[in-house]
């Protein structure tokens, strides 16, 4: 998993719990990296899960809620770092439909070692998109956070139905409200 994901998680966490508590949380974990991440490095996803788990214990916020919040945070970073991927998309569903075949394809060109999930999309009608998420990483809740934040980016209220198959697989039915 890319270092930028770790540096962003730590930036978000520092804003919530403060630097001292974050340092304590990291010190309490036996991380191979020592908790020092470079944006351009690659680190095991298990470290991300360990940090999120420890933050959950420390704050009393569930792992699922933390993953969702972090998904929202990352979308905000993608808006700043990669605005070109949002341009030309008419609405949130068109954007979500383009992640697999366009956005993550470009990400893979930039970072051939990126560890990305697989999405299969299916239109259930106008204004209704089904997205099947399959990953080697247990990030279903992170993905849900990205989807909601993407809808906010486009200023479009959506209802997201989630059928969770496992921590690594889920079907999201995203419907435009109204």
Given the rule CB under 6 A, which residues bind ligand HEM?
Answer: 1-2, 5, 78, 82, 85, 96, 99, 103-104, 107, 114-117, 135, 137, 139, 142-143, 146-147, 150
Instruction: For the CB of residue 27, give the shortest distance to ligand HEM in the complex, in Å.
Output: 24
Closer residue to ligand HEM, CB minimum distance, 58 or 104: 104
For the chain, the DSSP string reads -BHHHHHHHHHHHHHHH-HHHHHHHHHTS--TTTT---TT-B--HHHHHHHHHHHHHHH---HHHHHHHHHHHHHHHHHHH-GGGTTT--SHHHHHHTIIIIIHHHHHHH-TT----EEEEEEEETTEEEEEEE-SS--HHHHHHHHHHHHHHTT--EEEEEEEEETTEEEEEEEE--
Tell me whether residue 52 or residue 99 sits nearer to ligand HEM (CB atom): 99
Question: Between 51 and 103, whose beta carbon lies closer to ligand HEM?
Answer: 103
Dihedrals φ, ψ of 162, to 5°? Answer: -120, 120
To ligand HEM, the closest distance from the beta carbon of 162 in angstroms equals 12
Distance of closest approach, residue 24 Cβ to ligand HEM, in angstroms? 26
Nearest-approach distance from CB 127 to ligand HEM, in angstroms: 17
The least distance separating ligand HEM from the CB of residue 144, rounded to whole angstroms, comes to 9
Of 49 and 116, the one with the shorter C-beta distance to ligand HEM is 116
| CB 137 within 8 Å of CB 168 | yes
């Amino acid at each position: 998993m890319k270092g930028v994901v770790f540096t962003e998680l730590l930036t978000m966490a520092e804003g919530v719990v403060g630097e001292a508590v974050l340092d304590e949380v990291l010190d309490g974990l036996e991380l191979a990296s020592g908790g020092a991440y470079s944006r351009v490095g690659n680190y095991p996803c298990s470290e991300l899960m360990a940090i999120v788990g420890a933050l959950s214990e420390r704050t009393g916020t569930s792992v699922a809620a933390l993953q969702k919040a972090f998904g929202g945070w990352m979308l905000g970073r993608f808006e700043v770092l990669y605005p070109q991927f949002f341009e030309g998309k008419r609405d949130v569903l068109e954007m979500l439909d383009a992640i697999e075949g366009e956005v993550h394809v470009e990400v893979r060109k930039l970072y051939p070692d990126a560890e990305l999930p697989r999405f299969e999309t299916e239109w259930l009608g106008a204004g209704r998109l089904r997205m099947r998420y399959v990953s080697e990483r247990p990030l279903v809740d992170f993905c849900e956070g990205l989807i909601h934040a993407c809808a906010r980016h486009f200023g479009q209220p959506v209802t997201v139905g989630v059928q969770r198959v496992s921590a690594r697989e889920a079907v999201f039915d995203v419907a435009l409200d109204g």
